[in-house]
Structure 1
Amino acid sequence: MRRGAFARLWWASAASSWGDWITFFATLALADRIGGSTAVLVPLVSRIIPSLLLGSLAGVLADRFDRKWTMVASDVGRAVVVLWLVLANDLVTIAVISSILEILTMVRQPAREAAVPTLVDTEQLVKANSFSAAAAYGTAPIGAATWSGVAALYALVGSLGPIDRAPDLAFVLDSVTFLVSGAIVATIAIPKPTLADTSGAPDRAGRDWSQPLRDMVEGFAFVTRTRTVRRVVFGMAVALFGGSALLPLGQSFASTVLRGGDTGFGVLVTALGVGVGVGLMGV
């Protein structure tokens, strides 16, 4: 797993997630600068709504199209779209671009998840999925630290042509990470999906767009009737609810109370990530 196709996919995903987190924190800072403390909800809601409305559809698309080129197209698309944030001067533009970025991310994620089982042996699948999750979420504090570093760098060097705000420099860096991710994925040989081409299956079976909804209903029913799973899910929901409060409140707290400027929130999230990592190692 340390070499070969899965390793390249992991590095691509790590680069993609790293850049995505950089843009996430930079977008919060930009929204706060444009509209004040309550404006940070705009990029947050803009990323949540597409996931709620189109999450199941993204999984269906990943099963219908070539997974490799779906990921490449998503990375290239995000590399282009994120640069438009350099020109964003109002909250509506931020909301639209953030939504498009989230949609492209949603398309990439199930394609990556579906590709992993084709690149590793069955007995290594659990470990591979754990590594993939680490690449997706473990890069959050790294992205926050990078954003703080970018903001500090901008404070030293000032404007660079059309880049006249610290978040703009972060958006350019994010575009580069997406291009790097797409270039790496393009070198990986990933088997094409065969769901729609299964011999003996009617063509209509390969186009059952209602299946994700039925799967979601079945999963919800399983959680509600299984006591142990229900407790775990409830505990996770409470923990995530409390932790997510840091996002809308942290940016304003860091800039207005701590006087940390653009770098302050990134430092807070980095410290939180380090604390979580140390806590996990101690368990």
Structure 2
Amino acid sequence: MGKTKSMSLFKNKTYVKLFLASSISIYGDWFDILAISVLVAYGWNTDPVLIGLIPVCFALPGILFGSFAGVLADRYRKVNLMMASDFISAVLTGLLVLADHIYWILPLLFLRSTMGLISSPAAQSLTRHVVQEDQLLKATSYNQIVNNSGKIVGPLLGAVILAVFSPKICILINVFSSIISGLILLTMRKIKENNTIAPENDNKPQSSFKESLKEGWTFILKQRVIFNTILFSLIGMMSIQLVDFQFPVLLRSVNMEEPVVFGMLMSMTGIGSILTITLMNRFKEIQYGWAIGGGMSLIGFGFAGVGYIVEGISLLIPASFGLLVGLGNGI
């Protein structure tokens, strides 16, 4: 599909389908993350070192295969890539339900994160094809709001379900959400995509996969602002992942093992993110250096505060630090 005529984003049926598929998948993922954290930390009383490997399994595929995923999204049909990612992720998530030890969970999470890695750049690229350029920022903002609202609703509903049922029910919900997302994408197979591999000049040879990767890295290394931003974000995200999945261990150590407490912390970060995203959409210009640096600083202050949680402390205090983390994340 080419660029659409000027219209409201939600009157664009193709965008609505893409938005729904992504939203359902995101909400399912947040059910899943809470359930896995609770199962591993509270149900199995797993060692913190092994719990620390969970974010590694989430992040490592991006480091190893991130560039390949971007090239795949440029060279092949994006709807098909996203659809395959959803259906294969559903199978891998189903296998998580059968896992009875963290040694099974870790490789399954690694494989599933690899499949999710393919979907993300394809979704971003497809959004550019189905909305007008002047609506792209708004569409991206909507996607971020959904991601962070999933971080609010998912943990809260997940905590309620965990209080009544088992963590594996939440994991099963993610199985069905991936299937539904894939079925929605199935209805989009016939849309036209402007694949970047289609050369303007038919006589011009198509660059190889290796050459495309080389071109991408060459561009990044030559653009100092982009390279420094990526490096800064890498260091920041490594710091976040260092402690993110250790929250259940911390809560376990201060006798706050109820899933509702962990779900509340996750939800407060989502609320903070939505607040800042909504506020920043009102600005016509943003000083990106201050925004990125300030956002990371707020996350750091929030994590530092959470580190002072002790047994018997009021829940309002960790909730306020979670909100601070969310404000920084939103920026």
**TM-score normalised by L of structure 1:** 0.83
Two-structure CA RMSD over aligned residues (Å): 2.7
Aligned-pair CA distance for 1:201: 4.8
Match of 1:158 in 2: none
Quote how far apart the aligned CAs of 1:116 are: 0.8
> Which residue in the other structure is 2:121 paired with?
110
Preserved CA contact (<8 Å) 2:35 2:170: yes
> What residue is the counterpart of 1:273 in the other structure?
270
Which residue in the other structure is 1:24 paired with?
33
Q: Distance in 2 between matches of 1:140 and 1:124?
A: 25
Pairs aligned (count): 268
Deviations 1:106-142 (A, max 9, x none): 1111111111111111221221122223333442232
Q: 2:51 matched to 1:54? A: no
CA distance in 2, matches of 1:222, 1:113: 22
Question: How has the CA–CA distance of structure 1 residues 182 and 45 changed in structure 2, closer, same or farther, with 3 Å as cutoff?
Answer: same
Give distance in 2, aligned partners of 1:279 and 1:122.
23
Matched residue, 2:174: 174
Matches within 5 A, 1:1-283: 1-3=9-11, 4-32=13-41, 33-34=43-44, 35-154=46-165, 166-188=166-188, 189-201=190-202, 205-223=206-224, 230=228, 240=237, 243-278=240-275
Identity score, percent? 20
1:79, distance to aligned residue in structure 2 (A): 1.2
Corresponding residue SS for 2:247: helix
Q: Classify 1:274/1:134 alpha carbon distance in 2 versus 1 (closer, same or farther; 3 Å).
A: closer
User: How far has the Cα of 1:92 moved from its partner?
Assistant: 2.1
Structure with the bigger RCO (C-alpha within 8 Å, sep 6+) is 1
Q: How many Å separate the matches in 2 of 1:61 and 1:8?
A: 22
TM-score (norm 2): 0.72
2:129–2:194 contact (8 Å) kept in structure 1: no
Unaligned runs of 5+ in 2: 1-8, 281-331
Cα contact 1:76–1:179 (8 A) shared by 2: yes
Aligned residue identity for 1:269: M
Q: Deviations over 1:222-263 (max 9, x none)?
A: 235x8xx95x77876676566545513211122331423333
